[in-house]
Structure 1
Amino acid sequence: MDKIMICIIGSGNWATTIARNVGRNVANHSTLDEKVPMYVYEEMVEGRKLTEIINTTHINAKYMPNFVLPPNIVAVDDIVTTARDADIIIFAIPPTFVSSCCKTLLGKVKPTAHAVSLIKGFERGDDGQFILISQIIMRQLKIPCSVLVGCNLAHEIANDHFAEGTVGCRDQKYFRVLHDIFRSPTFRVVVTEDADCVEICSTLRNIIAFAAGCSDGMQLNENTKAGIIRRGFLEMLQFVDVFYPGCRMGTFFEACGISDLVTSCYANRNRKLAEAFVKTGKPLSELEHILIPGHEPLGPVTAELVHHMLKKKGLEEKFPLFTTVYKICTGDYPLSRLVECLIKAREDIFHPLHTFQL
């Protein structure tokens, strides 16, 4: 029986961190190929090719210089060579490169391959709806795609601190292998079929993290921040109930939901961006290039798309926090409206469809 080959597309902080787990785990499974190719965008680091450095020192000198990779992680500078023989293709690249990478790989990977997205982000569809990263990969490569999401700060996991992740996988036959390749003694992984909910949670939390950052920038108290997290969590549930009916309530209480939300409200690019936005008074467009170079500010971008979706259904007033964050980003609301929206939020809980499964 042929062994299952796994490859990794990407070599940034998160890709390298996951590569350490995958490399260790495949070495202990008789059904998994021990060699794990990792696609590395070739760069020169102190006069040497990054792929050469990784393959000789087993250290990603550009992105994770203080951590050693298992020797079975092999850096490859060609994306097609990396993926063509793989049965499981793990994507851990910036969302802006997903479409171009998929176009390069189209027709070059096994038709039976299974993708896994570790990418947080989305594209805007022509109808104004979210197009999730997993949907882009499935549509372009014509293979199934699972997702891994959680409160996973790369350096904390690399340092073997406790963390959790949720795998959303629609095909139960992959449950065991995906659990086994990602987990570690300190990284707890739970697998669920509720893949869309897992991924949409990781998108919506950016709006709430931005609100939390505004609270920090205004030097509001911890009770206010807790109120933002509580209200934001409620609006996440309500949003999914409206636009992604049939999701499971329990998914929100996994790492992809409440855990990732809390972590994001204390340690997240969007929180950092919002805090600077409040303290400096500079435009978001200027701050994003300084604070998060190379990354799209997902808080404001997500807030804009969510507001568009809510407006089409006439639901802005039912989502006061999401609406307020959007209008703060556009300059239509003063910062004082953030606390005001918490105070004035209706006490009744809005459940339009009651489609949640337990």
Structure 2
Amino acid sequence: MTKVAVLGAGSWGTAFTKVLAEAGTDVTMWARRGEVADTITNEHENPFYLRGFGLPATVTATTDPLVALADSSIVVLAVPSQTLRQNLAEWKDSIPKDATLLSLAKGVESGTLLRMSQVIAAVSGAEPERIAVLSGPNLAREIAARQPAATVIACSDSARAIAVQKACATKYFRPYTNSDVIGCEVGGACKNVIAIACGIASGMGMGDNTIASMITRGLAEITRLGVALGAKPATLAGLAGVGDLVATCMSPLSRNRSFGHVLGEGGSMERAQKAAHGQVAEGVKSCTSVRALSESYDVEMPLTEAVHRICHEGMEVEEAIGMLLGRRIKPE
């Protein structure tokens, strides 16, 4: 039986653990807080981040990374993108030498402007073919409720991608494999930023025409950046691109959309963070690093620019929306 370590006990890490266990995989979670680990092991639930969803009795959790990582052939990195480097630096010496490293984190690292797979390679020393990423329209609570969903597992080594695919395939969770790591990561990082923009528009009372237009234009700017970095356009037209984008921009379960909605209503950054289901709205930090990355490649990303100005430069939401709607008319 495949042994998997899931490092991180947030909502998505917990939901993915549930998927792995229900696929028949032997899985151990690492949690930073003892009370979270104890509750998962003894009560088979994570009420701190995914209340109301039972976990299989086979799932155990620990605060000791050595225990979680022992004999694991797949190591799932389920911590936020901006803390991945620090966490991985502490874990790297305990990771089995040939384990596949699977990233669930979606973002571009502040300062370095590295994608998550690049951070993993830099910190762990793992060869690129050992590093995989998972991305798609995967809202944690829906998957925990066993609602049908699909995802993409991208890795340059097809055998490793297939191994991860087999470890998490269930009747309700359908993983597809892909070799385009860059495309999956760009789609995953940028969609959080576009979701904040859509949430802002929603909070301002704008309707579906506006949201659909923003999603479409958001996909265009994501694709421009992805292609500049070496991604395949087809990847961004699939589950890891438009699929993830639509789910994140439209669903009230999306913490980035919820964050933006509060800002659109006139709420403060602090109030918006509280509305993000008690967890990190990745797009708040990613908007700055994605913006910097786009500038370094001379790629125009007006929605990302607007979100950055609202979140980090104090621009009023009305002014930002006006800036977007007031752009010059030109061919699509």
Q: 2:288 aligns with which of 304, 311, 314?
A: 304
Match of 1:344 in 2: 327
- Residue pair 2:88, 2:120 contacting (<8 A) in 1 also: yes
Q: Which of 1 and 2 has greater Rg?
A: 1
Residues 9, 332 of structure 1: alpha-carbon distance in 2 compared, 3 angstrom cutoff: closer
1:92 positional shift:
1.4
- Name the counterpart of 2:213: 227
What's the counterpart of residue 87 of structure 1?
Answer: 73
* Post-superposition CA distance 1:70-107 (Å, at most 9, x none): 23222222012211321111111233432232122222
| Cα distance, 1:19–1:321 mapped onto 2, change above 3 Å | closer
What residue in structure 2 maps to residue 43 of structure 1?
34
Alignment root-mean-square deviation, CA: 2.5
**Pair 99,321 (structure 1): closer, same or farther in 2 beyond 3 Å:** closer
Q: TM-score scaled by structure 1?
A: 0.82
Distance 1:339 1:231, change over 3 A: farther
2:78 is the alignment partner of 1:78: no
How far does residue 230 in structure 1 lie from its aligned partner after superposition? 0.8
Q: Is residue 173 from structure 1 mapped to residue 156 from structure 2 by the alignment?
A: no
Which ranges in structure 2 are unaligned for 5 or more consecutive residues?
A: none
1:98 equivalent in structure 2 = 84
Mapped contact 1:325–1:338 kept (Cα < 8 A)? no
Identify the match of residue 190 of structure 1 among 168, 176, 191.
176
Q: Match for residue 118 of structure 2?
A: 135
Partner of 1:327: 309
Could you tell me the TM-score, scaled by structure 2's length?
0.88
Change (3 A) 1:159 1:295: closer
Runs (5+) with no aligned partner, structure 1: 28-34, 45-49, 350-358
Q: Matched residues, percent identical? A: 25
SS in 2 for 1:75: strand
Deviations 1:25-66 (A, max 9, x none): 235xxxxxxx3222133433xxxxx44443344333433342
After TM superposition, the structure 1 stretch with the greater mean CA deviation from structure 2, 286-295 or 264-273, is 286-295
| Structure richer in helix, relative to its length | 2
Cα shift at 1:334: 5.6
In the aligned structure 2, how far is the partner of 1:67 from the partner of 1:215? 32
- 2:259 aligned residue: 273
Which of these residues, 193, 197, 205, is aligned with residue 191 of structure 2?
A: 205
Conserved? CA contact 1:26–1:181, under 8 Å:
yes
Look up the SS of the partner of 2:250 in the other structure. Answer: coil
Cα distance in 2 for partners of 1:157, 1:148 equals 14
Larger mean CA deviation between 336-345 and 268-277 belongs to: 336-345
The DSSP-based 3-state class of the residue aligned with 2:206 is coil
Contact 2:291 2:301 in 1 (8 A): no
